[in-house]
Amino acid sequence: MRVACAQINTVVGDLEGNLARVRGALAHARERGASLVLTPELALTGYPPEDLLLRPSFGDASRAALEELAGDVTEGTAIVGFVEHDEDVHNAAAVLADGRVQAIYRKRFLPNYGVFDEARYFQAGTHPMVLDIDGARVGIVICEDIWYPAPVAAELAEARLDLIACLSASPFHLAKGDARERMLQTRAYDSSAALAYCNQVGGQDDLVFDGRSAVIDAGGDLIARSPVFEEDLLIADIPLDLAAGRRLREPLLRRLPVSDAYAPIIIAASPAPAATGDPDAITPSPTAEGELWAALVTGIRDYVEKNGFPGVILGLSGGIDSALTAALAADALGPERVRGVAMPSVFTSGQSTDDAAALAASLGVRLDIIPIAPVVDAFEAQLADVFEGTDRDVAEENLQARVRGTLLMAISNKHGDMVLATGNKSEMSVGYSTIYGDMAGGFAPLRDVSKTWVYRLASWRNQEAGREVIPQATIERPPTAELRPDQRDSDSLPDYGVLDPILELYIEQDLPPAAIVERGFPDDAVARVAGLVDRAEYKRRQGPPGIKTTPRAFGRDRRMPITNRFGAR
């Protein structure tokens, strides 16, 4: 059986556009002779639709798009993800053949953790579905259905399938792709069935989807894989006799019951055209740095383009965070759509301005230089009476950041470009940022990227290019906010080599401070960092969205109360 996985980049709510993408994939699959085509989960509506699902008209529009699409499927069979509104709302997959909808499967496992809220919106399905497509037994699952060994996956084994068809919208975080693929190989091996996995690709708000669709044979061996973060039509020829042979050679499935629940629905489908061209191979996996870079580029590009911004603007301080953000934006959008603004104060060193200029020249982006000293002086003059009798402190320091935020937003309002905030996860975690200042912006690409990874990515980008895309002086320079004389991040925070591992244990693994200390970290540093993280919750709630890259990002993943007296314990 020749199977196609249509790894497409959908837009939530764009039913016409998504329908066109699916149609294009189906036409391409027909040209290649695929007899079965899969789309991602909720391909017609985009994923996740969130509260759009509370509007009955949304589900009705999804069904209308599905019926329109069904008329196109006159050769072969397609399994397409859509929202079904039938008294309640279901995350569903429709089987299209012979110009009509012939069966509908409803997702049975609804994830309700991390970034997922499916139990808020959907009613779970209750029944397995087995199809007879040209004599092959094909079972359907949707994303979460396949992640657990029972009951859905166990039923797939009981059904003695030739092929498992899995529609998915599985969002990215670092190292997830390898773990997911190992799980899929286990499911195929345990079921003695081939498995075709079709995943969504692209950015949707703070989520990015890596694609990495795959086809695995009945022995658990990978036979085809799509590239990450690219639209793709993955074509694979599945040897159906392998599944039958395994069941005879390794008759473990004989111990499982045979149920009438697995009686197949016979799909009436006209034959697909003859197969043309060779099937696709296994696209190599990228390095961790390459994968994360592609995720961030995808997130920036799709957030900007899907929301209709002409380009982006950001402050270029000469520091590593703004340099990395600018390099990512230039790769995502092209340098002509990126505008940098250097805003030196009396505390800004000449090296900072030089490094910002060198970066802009390296990337080919526009650079405007707007000194902020006169504006800061005016603010301080207006506040002189209110501040009288107090020492200079963080209030005056933060005025500089807020002046910069105001200038960037003014340019954004005038020209329409979206402001990119440049703060990283380490800073956001402990509140080392100025609300209404450097936190101002429409999108924060590095919001879930630690300072350690910021340096790693900058060095990787230079190595990949074979030149200093990001000036080496910027990478080697000690990090500083330059809001007072001779300021260094280390004046206020532990070294990032200590801070970042503590943050990972406290935020991503939810370990209490005592358990972190047991792992060898200084007691005073752990207590201080945990306290800073807890107190900064109100700031993070007011910051712009950013791209999820870790298993536990702020926002959808980690939802802590702002008013909270439990503390770090």
Partner residues linked to 367 by β-bridges: 340
How far is the C-alpha of 479 from the C-alpha of 475, rounded, in Å? 9
Closest C-alpha among 542, 550, 456, 453 to residue 506: 550
What are the φ/ψ torsions at residue 106 (nearest 5 degrees)?
Answer: -110, 130
How far is the C-alpha of 260 from the C-alpha of 267, rounded, in Å? 18
Q: DSSP string of 244-276?
A: HHHHHHSGGGGGS---GGGPPEEP--PPPPPP-
How far is the C-alpha of 162 from the C-alpha of 150, rounded, in Å? 19
Residues of the chain with pLDDT under 50: none
Residue 482: per-residue pLDDT: 61
DSSP state letter for 507: I
* Residue 74: CB atoms within 10 Å: 14
Residue 275: per-residue pLDDT: 85
Q: DSSP string of 404-467?
A: HHHHHHHHHHHH-PEEBP---HHHHHHT-S-TTTTT-SSBBTTTT--HHHHHHHHHHHHHHHTS
Query: 109 Cβ partners below 8 Å, 6+ apart?
Result: 124, 144, 145, 147, 148, 152
Q: Are 194 and 238 in contact (CB under 8 A)?
A: yes
User: What b/e readout covers 347-370, taking b as 16+ CB neighbours within 10 angstroms?
Assistant: bbeeebbebbbbbbebbebebeee
What are the φ/ψ torsions at residue 63 (nearest 5 degrees)?
Answer: -65, -40
Residue 149: per-residue pLDDT: 87
Annotated catalytic residue 41 = yes
Q: What is the 3-state secondary structure (H, E, C) of 411-427?
A: HHHHHCCEEECCCCHHH
- Residue 459's Cβ-side half-sphere holds a number of Cα atoms within 13 Å equal to 8
544, 545, 549, 551 alpha-carbon torsion, rounded to 10° = 110
pTM equals 0.92
How far is the C-alpha of 174 from the C-alpha of 449, rounded, in Å? 11
Q: In the sheet that 100-106 helps form, which strands lie side by side, from edge to edge?
A: 100-106, 88-97, 77-86, 36-38, 2-7, 232-237
Query: 182 Cβ partners below 8 Å, 6+ apart?
Result: none
Residue 345: per-residue pLDDT: 85
Closest C-alpha among 344, 562, 321, 558 to residue 441: 321
- The rounded Cα 2 to chain-centroid distance in angstroms is 30
Omega of the bond prior to 49 within 30 degrees of 0, cis?
A: no
Q: Are 96 and 73 in contact (CB under 8 A)?
A: yes
Query: CA 48 → CA 200, 297, 315, 547, distances in Å?
Result: 11, 20, 32, 15
* Residue 396: CB atoms within 10 Å: 17
Annotated catalytic residue 118 = no
How far is the C-alpha of 538 from the C-alpha of 534, rounded, in Å? 9
Handedness of CA 434, 513, 452, 179 (dihedral sign): negative
Q: Are 529 and 505 in contact (CB under 8 A)?
A: no
Overall CATH class of domain 2-266? alpha beta
One-letter identity of residue 189: Y
How far is the C-alpha of 564 from the C-alpha of 412, rounded, in Å? 36
- Residue 273's Cβ-side half-sphere holds a number of Cα atoms within 13 Å equal to 11
Overall CATH class of domain 288-541? alpha beta
How far is the C-alpha of 537 from the C-alpha of 365, rounded, in Å? 34
pLDDT in tens, 325-365: 999 999 999 999 999 999 998 887 778 888 999 999 999 99
Spot the catalytic one: 75, 107, 118, 451: 107
Angle at 262 between CA 260 and CA 268, to 5 degrees: 115
Query: 260 Cβ partners below 8 Å, 6+ apart?
Result: none
- The rounded Cα 401 to chain-centroid distance in angstroms is 29
* Residue 209: CB atoms within 10 Å: 27
Spot the catalytic one: 5, 75, 143, 548: 143
- Residue ranges per structural domain of the chain: 2-266, 288-541
Closest C-alpha among 503, 552, 555, 554 to residue 531: 503
One-letter identity of residue 411: I
- Residue 555's Cβ-side half-sphere holds a number of Cα atoms within 13 Å equal to 21
Q: DSSP string of 72-116?
A: T--SSEEEEEEEEEESEEEEEEEEEETTEEEEEEE------STT-
Annotated catalytic residue 166 = no
Spot the catalytic one: 41, 144, 158, 291: 41
